[in-house]
Structure 1
Amino acid sequence: MKIPPFTTEEETKILKPEIMKEIERVIDSGQFIMGPDVKEFESEVAEYLGSQYAIGVNSGTDALVIGLLAAGVGEGDEVITTSFTFFATAEAISQIGATPVFVDIEEATYNINISLIEEKITEKTKAIIPVHLYGHSVNMDPLTEVAQKHKLKVVEDVAQAFGSEYKGKKVGSIGDVGCYSFFPTKNLGAYGDGGLITTNDSEIAETAKMLRVHGAKKKYQNEILGFNSRLDSIQAAILRIKLKKIDEWNEGRRKVDKAYKKYLGDVEEIILPSEQTYTHHVYHQYTTRVLNGKRDGLQNHLKEKGIGSMVYYPTPVHKLPLYAYELDLPNTMQLTDEVLSLPIYPHMSEEKVELVANAIKEYLN
């Protein structure tokens, strides 16, 4: 494949000597689980995100599960969220015995349509999970207003939006809980699994810390049922290095967006990502809309040209076998058939963007 959807090749070349040195240091220390690097990373990332507390966990999915439980959501509760997301958002809700309640999305941002939330609130509703999809922030002020009016917790799913901002604040620091993934393809990615919970609430933070280590404040003094969900010291050491580069590399993604707009801005059958005035988009995915039923044909054409692309996601969550809900979510259903994510990574050259754009124009014209 000439141009993959994503690659870490360039960042690995840049960071490998420093990363190998840090891995060797952690190995020599013998402190592989919850060692000093985890505490240092939690402190550094909390400062970067503007959150009082940061708790490293095993994965982004665990961050959602533990974040919900720590916020007081549990068996029999309802959580309002979007169906246009990765399965883990709803899975975490179901794992704790709660029920996901799906709301349609905005056409322009792919994010939850806040104007539709209030009509879904019942006496069982306990929380809202806004998903900052593809790196674009949800419009958090009106969402927070609805949550406060009905005394609901806001648990932000920030798996795809590390470093994105809403009105100058980092997403994940605005609601009651922020949940992040460090899967290797994320904007801030580890070299394995990893996740993070952020909060400004001391009680939520204390509960989350207990839940990640089998429900114990002190070793062998287990007080509640918890999990084995700890961030490895080696991953924390790697993330500490990469955190220093995150703003520079997010800006690299924004430059790729500008290049795509330069070469594809006048193509009528493809709609490029938009950026609302309230956000600082970090383009985790470069998700376009291909109109007139041409998405699958274009994807096949790109593949023949050696250009990778992805559909995120081919089936909305409410249509997966586990749920199979009959819901009226017109934007969700339409965009599921139209979205196509083009190659993007921080060090992608304008020349490669132009090659992708030319292949798209060749097919659509």
Structure 2
Amino acid sequence: MPITQVPYFAFRDFPAGINQQVEEAVLRAFRSQQYILGEEVETFENEFAAYVQAGRAIGVGNGYDALVVALKAAGIGAGDEVIVPANTFIATVNAVVQVGAIPVLAEPDRYTCNLTAAEAAVLVTPRTKAIIPVHLYGQACEMAGFLELSAKHNLTIIEDFAQAQGASYQGRPVGSFGRISATSFYPTKNLGALGDGGAVVTSDPALTDYVRMYHNYGQQQKYHNQIVGINSRLDTVQAAALRVKLQHLDALNSERQRLAQVYLTRLQGIDDLVLPVTAPDCTHVYHIFNIRTKQRDALQQYLSTQGIQTAIHYPVPVHLQEAYTFLGYKKGNFPVAEELAETSLSLPLFPGMTEAEQEAVITCIHTFFERHG
């Protein structure tokens, strides 16, 4: 048995004192009695934009809304084709459908699990209007090829960096490459709120103006509506908490990377176990530490009996989801995505994870393969 029960994810006071700082910030926001928009939200938006090295950030209600708003702002609509990876969280594809566009699925790279420009290039048609590179698991996509593809075919790049706040490509933060980009502040994200939240970032002034109107009922001034908009605003309390966590994001990511390096060192060379691979010029902030093995289900079950929680990202690829049968894809169309779905297992990794907890995970994995190798 392991030394202790190991959660897949837990909220810990890391770095020490961050919980108190968040509580104090939330209390200040509460006492301000400015619960919707206001100075706290605007300040966070400015700080986050500076961190991402984008011109503007606009807080919205959640990461899904951020994707929808980004697509709408970019003018993506009925009949337009948008290239998306076949192995991503369903929200990416749902957002494309919500604006009336057609998701065109692409195989991921079998090593990094990310979409590549080479895979996207063969899917470009006269109807293609955008590509959504998803910085999956916390690793930056290789963006140079996407930018070249965008220039060649006049395509809009919309980054989905919900899992990768703080990651970079060639020294430049993800979220700053696309004409417009979207992220999520779901509580377990690397930059997580105390509930739902998200942001759209862009350096295009026209898109900034559109998003600011669209996410707030289509108005610049109250009761004066220029466009038909929606209500999707980042709460003041969430902005207050995020401002504190943003100050610590690099430290939080560094701890994730340290923990990941322990796994990468200690789990090398075990049977058919495939460990994460980071592409050249990319950084990985390990929102998810994803391993792969043909014995995934048995390994997960064994770890569970030992008190170790794990997760699977994602057990059913998009093209095999019941909701997407209308796209006409079949089993076998995306063998890499299907293999990832059948073999991937996400190990516990979170800031504040103890040495004893990680040692328990490593020991149990070694034990499993010694018995089943």
TM-score, scaled relative to structure 2? 0.95
SS at match of 2:324: coil
Q: Find out whether 1:87 has 2:90 as its counterpart.
A: yes
What is aligned with 1:318? Answer: 319
How far 1:12 moved relative to its partner? 8.8
SS at match of 1:296: helix
Distance (Å, rounded) in 2 between the aligned partners of 1:259 and 1:270 = 15
1:251-279 deviation line (CA, Å, top 9, x unaligned): 00000111112211121321111112211
Distance (Å, rounded) in 1 between the aligned partners of 2:112 and 2:46 = 32
Q: Find out whether 1:306 has 2:307 as its counterpart.
A: yes
Q: 338, 341, 365: which one pairs with 1:333?
A: 338
What is aligned with 2:160? Answer: 157
1:71-109 deviation line (CA, Å, top 9, x unaligned): 111122110011201000000000011110000010110
What is aligned with 1:248? Answer: 251
What is aligned with 2:78? Answer: 75
What is aligned with 2:353? Answer: 348
Distance (Å, rounded) in 1 between the aligned partners of 2:125 and 2:174 = 27
| Match runs of 1:287-302 below 5 Å | 287-290=290-293, 293-302=294-303
Distance (Å, rounded) in 2 between the aligned partners of 1:203 and 1:277 = 34
What is aligned with 2:364? Answer: 359
Q: Which runs of 5+ in 2 are unaligned?
A: none
Q: Which runs of 5+ in 1 are unaligned?
A: none
Distance (Å, rounded) in 2 between the aligned partners of 1:200 and 1:343 = 36
State the identity as a percent: 40
1:6-57 deviation line (CA, Å, top 9, x unaligned): 1112339632222222222112211000011000001111111101111110
Q: Find out whether 1:63 has 2:71 as its counterpart.
A: no
Is the contact between residue 105 and residue 331 of structure 1 (CA under 8 Å) also seen in structure 2?
Answer: yes
Q: 113, 116, 130: which one pairs with 1:113?
A: 116
What is aligned with 1:236? Answer: 239
**Which letter maps to 2:84?**
T
What is aligned with 1:17? Answer: 20
What is aligned with 1:284? Answer: 287
The RMSD of aligned alpha carbons is 1.3
Distance (Å, rounded) in 1 between the aligned partners of 2:204 and 2:247 = 26
Distance (Å, rounded) in 1 between the aligned partners of 2:17 and 2:302 = 33
Q: Find out whether 1:168 has 2:188 as its counterpart.
A: no
SS at match of 2:346: strand
Distance (Å, rounded) in 2 between the aligned partners of 1:78 and 1:67 = 15
**Which letter maps to 2:358?**
V
Distance (Å, rounded) in 2 between the aligned partners of 1:256 and 1:351 = 12
What is aligned with 1:186? Answer: 189
Is the contact between residue 263 and residue 354 of structure 1 (CA under 8 Å) also seen in structure 2?
Answer: no
SS at match of 2:308: coil
1:296-355 deviation line (CA, Å, top 9, x unaligned): 000000000000100000101111111123252111111110100000002223332221
Distance (Å, rounded) in 2 between the aligned partners of 1:52 and 1:128 = 21
SS at match of 1:284: coil
What is aligned with 1:259? Answer: 262
Distance (Å, rounded) in 2 between the aligned partners of 1:266 and 1:10 = 34
Is the contact between residue 259 and residue 350 of structure 1 (CA under 8 Å) also seen in structure 2?
Answer: no
SS at match of 2:227: coil
Q: Find out whether 1:137 has 2:158 as its counterpart.
A: no
Distance (Å, rounded) in 2 between the aligned partners of 1:190 and 1:13 = 18
| Runs of 4+ more than 3 Å apart | none
Distance (Å, rounded) in 1 between the aligned partners of 2:63 and 2:21 = 25
SS at match of 1:280: coil
